[in-house]
Structure 1
Amino acid sequence: MPSRIVLFGAFDRHNFGDLLFPHIVSKSLPNQAIEFAGLVDRDMRPWGGHPVKSLVSIPLDENATLIHCGGELLTCTAYEAAVMLQTPEQARQAITCHDADPLDAERWAAEALLTSRRIPYVVRADRGRLIFNAVGGVEWPLLQPIQQEEVIETLRQADWIGVRDHVTQGHLQAAGIACSLCPDPAVMVKEYFDELIQQRSLRGEVAQTIGTFPKGYLACQFAAEFGDDATLDQLANGLNKTCAETGLGVVLFRAGAAPWHDQIEPYERLSARMPAASTRIFHSLNLWDICALLAKSRVYCGSSLHGGIVAAAYGLPHVSLIPPQKTNRPDKVSANRNTWERKSLNVCVKPDEIEQALVSALNQSAEELKISAARLEKIYRENQQQWLWVVSQCSG
């Protein structure tokens, strides 16, 4: 095994899936010297993450293996990355100042991130091993040709590439890049961390939530783009009817607190549209609390890809929300579900369709859900063995 392993990704900001990735990947690398790297120095331990160093401060010598842990890294531009690494107020200022001028935005991002890379979460390792684990890039056609070429040049240097959906795979294969189809790392969350997650469910806000709804609850999440009044009315109508029909409570939780993710204000406005006795806003942003909340739910409904993946790992039904203003932009949630799930389990709906979708999902076969979870675990392990073999060839 190599003397040093560097896990790299967007776990330098608060987003549920990104925080989870290095936990999953490091679980397969016991007793190894591991460093956790992002684009900036940030201590994410208060939210269940890792102490993250800026990659520019970590030497990538011949004894290092750089592993891109997962996520939609292939199409995250420098400007997007830089905005999401700001505080909410800083992000608003940056968007106001730079959003209308792409060249100015690119210059600002380069200064903020201390890198000239246009797609900064895709990094080459000239002397060590380079691995891409279950990465995504469904918005590949929206990148500029110079951005695509930067990514392709790096991928050509990789020792192993796995992508998490058939859409990304198709784009890379068309560009001449061979890659395996690998499920998202989060499919392993129950297998690797169930004991910890069960412990988290016995205390704190998760335990309080479970006690509040003795008949069970549905876990609901949505991004800020669902926050207009008309959409909130549709969500409240569907959730209220579902509660009345099933007796379940509704727990609203945020899967990401970084800019361009989930905001608390729309949750408060949705809660005000619903009966207080059947609705609760879950405030914890701790990774393991969110996992426990999902694991103990009856069904998940939301726009977060990883909310659905973690629910699925626990054999639970999950309904994916499609943005009300959805255009023809590629969608990573739909791409992932269409790649890995049978049609009978694949439910993606608009906000005004959630009542029927949720009731139908609650009637899905528990056995079929369990089989689907086990199948994805098996496929992920098979891919994991491939890149672990590559890692083993770089001896320290």
Structure 2
Amino acid sequence: MTDRVNVIAYGAYDRHNYGDLLFAIVLKRYLEADGRFSVIVAATKKSNLSRYGALPTVPLKKALDATRQQPKTMLIVAGGECLTAQWESIIGYLAPQAIYYPIKASPYLIGHKAFIRLSRMFTSIPSDIPLVLGERDLPGYKVMYNSVGGNEISRKKPLIHDAIKRNLKDCTYVSVRDRETSAELDKLGVEHNLVPDSAILISDIFPQQVDPAEPGHIVFHISDHHAKRRIEAIAQQLTELNVNTGLKIALLTIGKAPGHSDDEPLDKLHSLLGDERAYRVDSGNIEDIIRCIATSKLYCGTSLHGAITALAYAVPQIALLPQRVIKLSSFLETWVPKQSCGFAEVPQISQIGTNLINVFGDSQRAELRAVVEAMKGRVRANLDHMVELYDAAPARGEKTRNEQHKPEAVAAN
């Protein structure tokens, strides 16, 4: 048997944000299934979040060093809202909570160019955008993007906007997960495919048994950022929802990283609702999060991957604050049947949640499961396509017959 080929899965897997942690698991499981590939999980730094069910990471520099002698290496940015993630956010996530906001402000104090230079030196990552890599700086690497997101690229500063465009045009393949991101790449003239978020495959990796005798519950999630000045109004809506449906509210922690921590607002909601109406699920463990959502009657929240988890297990979803959380509302509008999801501002939580639970029966669940299976098929085909592109690509130092220069990408239709 020939030696296995190392593949690099690169992304923000060194911090506790539920969705990011799923991408590495999905990609590693899928690519290693046939025994041909071995996936190295890389991020900005070494980490071990295995206590949460995540995969340990190595710094990207170490992953590049480990694969440099291969004739060619596939480097996959495995998912997430990565196209618009800037250095101040990535560095901030790696720092203690107390200095998260000072780091976020640093580019405005010392200048964006200087902050980018320092970040690149600190992490040894050869890109002005931390999760958007181009091939000119990585000879022999075939860089591909697996159903990623990146809304509002066109509104970024010219320095950031131009770096995104330059690096995306300098890679082997791009796929994006929603129409908003697709429209942004059309503006840039970047060729790409529209493919569902790969986390939809988690129901294959973590199958769940739902006891029909159990009454079930409603999952609610909100990030600290979006909860500000809304807690009392949310508590009133969740109280009404509990009264209308008779279902307790599971207040679910999905993120624990700086900038993603959910614990404080959910703890406040628990104190307002009391034990009779609500309970906390705050371990942060991936399988606990999946089990809580998969066995529920409804998911309502601001987390995209909370909603995608619900979708994967055929649970109806509500996108909370859809005008503010664009990546969430855009994804559901792109892929999910209207009768299986809702879009709610805070005053609408109880009404929309009650209606969804009342109308979502066996036929709607069967339809949603069929939609999910079709989405999974597209995700698998996308992953297979990347492998085919890797197989067809020349090794280091080689050129295809008509390749003197890398051709300009053509905008997707």
TM-score (norm 1): 0.88
- Conserved 8 A contact 2:319-2:328: yes
- 1:51 is aligned to 2:56: yes
Query: 2:45 aligns to what?
Result: 40
Residue 347, structure 1, aligned to residue 342, structure 2: yes
C-alpha contact (below 8 Å) 1:70/1:136 kept by paired residues: yes
In structure 1, list runs of 5 or more residues that go unmatched: 202-209
Cα separation, 1, equivalents of 2:60 and 2:307:
30
Match of 1:117 among 107, 119, 127: 127
- RMSD after superposition: 2.5
Decide whether aligned partners of structure 1 residues 47 and 102 sit closer, same or farther in structure 2, where only a CA change above 3 A counts. Answer: farther
Partner of 1:29: 31
* Counterparts of residues 132-281 of structure 1 (less than 5 Å): 132-194=145-207, 214-229=214-229, 231-281=230-280
Q: Residue 72 of structure 1 aligns with which residue?
A: 81
Matched, 1:82 2:91: yes
Cα deviation digits, residues 360-389 of structure 1 (max 9, x gap): 221222222222212211222222221121
Query: Identity percentage over the alignment?
Result: 24
Mapping of residues 330-369 of structure 1, within 5 Å:
331-362=326-357, 363-364=359-360, 365-369=364-368
Amino acid at match of 2:349: I
- Provide Cα deviations, 1:35-83, integer angstroms capped at 9, x if missing partner: 1101111112121111101112222534321011011111001111111
Q: Distance in 2 between matches of 1:358 and 1:228?
A: 22
Change (3 A) 1:167 1:92: closer
Consecutive unaligned residues of structure 2, counting only runs of 5 or more, are: 396-413
Aligned to 1:299: 298
Alpha-carbon deviation of 1:96? 6.4
Q: Report which stretch shifted further, 367-376 or 134-143.
A: 367-376
Equivalent pairs counted in the alignment come to 377
C-alpha distance in 2 between matches for 1:108 and 1:232: 38
Offset from partner CA, 1:273-299 (integer Å, 9 cap, x none): 113122111121111211111111111
Kindly indicate whether structure 1 or structure 2 has the higher relative contact order, using CA contacts under 8 Å at least 6 residues apart: 1
Cα deviation, residue 139, structure 1: 2.2
- Tell me, yes or no, if the aligned pair for 1:82 and 1:113 is still in contact at 8 Å: no
Residue identity matched to 2:131:
Y
Structure 1: distance between partners of 2:45 and 2:389: 28
Displacement, 1:255? Answer: 1.1
